[in-house]
Structure 1
Amino acid sequence: MGDGYTARFSRRWRVAAAVGAVVVSAPLLTPAPLVVTGAAGRTVTVLLVLAQAAGFWWLGVRHRLGTAVVLAAAAGLQVLYPGAGPGLAFVAVCTYAWLRPATETLWGLGLAVLAACGPAVARGRWTMAGLWLGGVVLAWSWGALVRARGARRLAERRQAVLEERARIARELHDVLSHTVSVMVVQAAAADDVFDVDPARAREALRRTEQAGREALAELRWFLRSVRADDDGDAGAQAAPQPGLGDVERLAATVSAAGLPVTVHREDTDAVDVPLAVQLSAYRIIQEALTNALRHAGAGKAEVVIRSGPSEVSVEVRDDGRGGSGAGTGQGIPGMRERAALLGGTLRAGPAPGGGFEVAARLPTKEQNR
């Protein structure tokens, strides 16, 4: 089973490796002490040098074949030239360990041990064989380590992408679900009174249009924010994100849709609350009111905001039928996740006196440090 990481030995590097193999082995083509003397020995040497270069070329496309050819040629050159070392065998096994997962390259490690240490063992040079063994293990370990680091970076990038997608999904849900719900309620109200009270129907349609414009404005703000993040911009041209100061406007929109909402504040200056906390608090209130408007059959709702020196708490209560608070959609789980990301808590469930209540506690000290 692979690790999902793909290492690429580009054509340019394959050419460089093949040429480098010939250049490094070129001294062996000059007059030197050969085990096999004469023309036959020179011919075999040339063939092994060329085979070694071809092995490095194949290493980028046919990993097993390239590795085997380089290691076999390196062993042959050590047999012909007692003074030659297995330097290129180290390069080959290191590259192979980088190109493929570790479990696939263990045979290459074993073959490299034979190719590097075998000729020295055959001559009884045990110290040299021990050095070559250490070199092979070190080369293979280095290649495997570089691959592991690359695989870890790839996994981190993929995780970041998944987290960003989840964030975008939450934001889109928060941006659109509230306003679209208001539009649906207003459109239904207009349809109910269209024949008997055209004036009320027109008013409902105007509110539907206003809600649609607000949805488009929030969606444009959201898309500008996403593009600014992608481009590394600070988003100076994007409209400010909603915060605690916008709760009254949100309550007015929900009230106009048919669910009267009152807002009570027991806070100090909301400017002192970090923007991330303000945005999360606003989205939690927005989602709770949207749920009450769509699902609870509530006749009224109340929002309570408290700001202290170390936390912000928000409570949204309605007199509807509510539910258990253990929903599996984006709503309540999304609110809990928002609170948890800030180190806070969220409770959603039936209120003691009836109806449904959402209560969140969001710490502010960490963001101010």
Structure 2
Amino acid sequence: MSLFWRIFGLNALVLGAATALLLWAPVTVSVPVLITEAVILVAGLGVMLIANAALLRIGLAPLDRLTRLMTTVDLLRPGQRLEVSGHGGVAHLIRTFNDMLERLETERATSNARALSAQESERRRIAQELHDEVGQSMTAVLLGLKQIADQAGADLTAEIQQAQETTRQSLDEVRRLARRLRPGVLEDLGLVSALTSLTADFARHTGLKVVGRFDGDLPQLDRDTELVLYRVAQEGLTNAVRHADAAHVELTLRRTPRAVVLRIDDDGRGLGIGREGAGIRGMRERALLAGATLDIGSGRTGGTRVSLSLPTAEQGA
């Protein structure tokens, strides 16, 4: 039965019951109206309104649930569906909405995969240019400064050495940026070595105390999945430095019977009530790309905990 006929039938039932009472019940209305008659009429009207409201509430309840889901649905948190019961118009509407969510999530995952692939390609290109062009140019500057230092007098030695040190620091920074854009250690030595290098690099350049604990018996992961784990760890450490005001961060990678779990715990000020920024939404997009689950909440001792759970091949099977 469609929604129109359901509402029409409910109202017809209430009005029909009221009409039947007026026709066959021994009730009359005097002129002028007596107090008892007025009380009976007002009570009957109240009963009809209450019954009508209750029946309409029951009939429109699925639409209320649909409205709440439509206002809160987030494609970065897939799987949000309404339970479908019955075969009427409302059930058809809910089923259509669930199908639409399914299509949107599929299209979002496909577009995210293309966007992230393009982003990684652009990062590799920029890293290559930094290494080959900027890095080599600064290396040539260092060699030129060394030659000048060998030929210059003692009165210019201090200035030349200062210029050499500044250039050397800038070259180290360029190389560090290139490594962050294109983690060559991930391609050459694997995920655990890449995460170890990442924690050491953050501790060295930010003053943050970073502790890494990684299992060595991880299951075989493809390159894209390892890149997702690495980028989420990188973004989690970056957020701890930029936004959390943390002094200590623990990065762990564990193998469980059902999944590989990456976890970042900091002792900062926590998430608060603000909206999720681009960094967290980027982590959620990468998690969807790998078929993983990303949870962000409070840690055991305050601060923030980022947990990425990637089902293993056995669990997926």
Superposition TM-score, scaled by structure 1 size:
0.39
| Higher relative contact order (CA closer than 8 Å, sequence separation 6+) | 2
Q: Tell me the TM-score normalized by structure 2.
A: 0.44
Structure showing greater radius of gyration is: 1
